[in-house]
Chain A
């Protein structure tokens, strides 16, 4: 796929800005996404090529603007809904419940 993820040689992406002593995870949600990837992968729901392809299918602007583990989140949501394990409606309903609970 010749999508925007094919970044080698592109101009204009700005400075690298490495973070000193960077932690492995920057947020608790990143830990959970990482673990969910490993668990759903180990559960045989998809292989790594399907996972990368799901990321490559993100909207290009969204891909460039979102953080790394957000790519993983999008891919897990995509693959687990596409294979019928869960539905988008179940996700949005649960998001709404959790948002109400947190309010």
Chain B
């Protein structure tokens, strides 16, 4: 709206944030101590290491992988990962013939319980606009070249449904423990803009 635009051009964002927090606190609508705990949870506790554990188990345990692909929410919940922005999960498997990549074209829907908060690029206009029409070009920007004989599937998340990619297990990982495997799994591989690299 026009009036909002004018006030925005005059006011520093940090100042607006301080003012909002100050007024909301004064009215008892938020509690600053509770805010600290929330920030800590999402900055340090909930993140892609959760998803990596899920991937490592799927690689190690065929029965778990089957459960994961059949009912992502339930299988992920076996780890205790659930809740806000991850209530309904579908896990899509990358194979030699299929490469999956995720997006939310309308906003930023992303599986918080398994991957934490999304990076800026995922939430910004270039990725959201282009990955649905030129996924191979976008993947090239991430340094990932997907050959023409591999099908690329783009999954547009929505308010009700979140996705996670089960990346391919790389070569050279035979006999590794789940913990060791989890260490190899990157956030980007679970969004589908990277593959998991083979260990050195």
- Which parts of A5-43 form the interface with B (CB within 8 Å)? 5-11, 13-19, 22, 24-29, 31-36, 38-40, 43
Q: In the complex the two chains form, is A49's CB within 8 Å of B159's CB?
A: yes
Chain A contacts for B132, CB-based, 8 A: 8-9
A residues near B (Cβ < 8 Å) are 5-11, 13-19, 22, 24-29, 31-36, 38-40, 43, 45, 48-49, 52, 55, 57-59, 61-62, 64, 66-68, 70, 73-74, 76-77, 80, 85-86, 90-92, 94-95, 98-99, 102
Once bound together, how far apart are the Cα atoms of A18 and B27, in whole Å?
40
Is there a chain A Cβ closer than 8 Å to B98's Cβ?
no
Contact of A24 among B22, B103, B117 (CB under 8 A): B117
List the A side residues contacting B19 at CB < 8 Å: 91-92, 94-95, 98
Roughly how many angstroms separate A35 CA and B4 CA in the complex, as a whole number?
A: 23
CB distance from A87 to the nearest CB of B (A): 9
The answer to whether A80 touches B24, judged by C-beta atoms less than 8 angstroms apart, is yes
Chain A residue numbers with a CB within 8 Å of B12 are 99
Determine, out of B31-39, B57-65, B66-74, B161-169, the stretch whose residues face the partner at the interface.
B31-39
CB<8 Å pairs between A and B, sample of 27? A5-B106, A6-B105, A8-B103, A8-B156, A16-B124, A16-B126, A18-B121, A22-B121, A25-B39, A31-B43, A32-B17, A34-B117, A35-B39, A36-B21, A36-B24, A39-B35, A45-B29, A55-B107, A59-B2, A62-B8, A67-B120, A68-B123, A74-B4, A91-B20, A91-B23, A94-B22, A95-B19
Chain B, interface size category, equals: 35 or more
Q: Contact residues of B with A, CB < 8 Å?
A: 1-2, 4-5, 7-8, 11-24, 27, 29-31, 34-36, 38-39, 42-43, 47, 84, 103, 105-108, 116-117, 119-121, 123-130, 132-133, 138, 141-142, 156, 159, 193
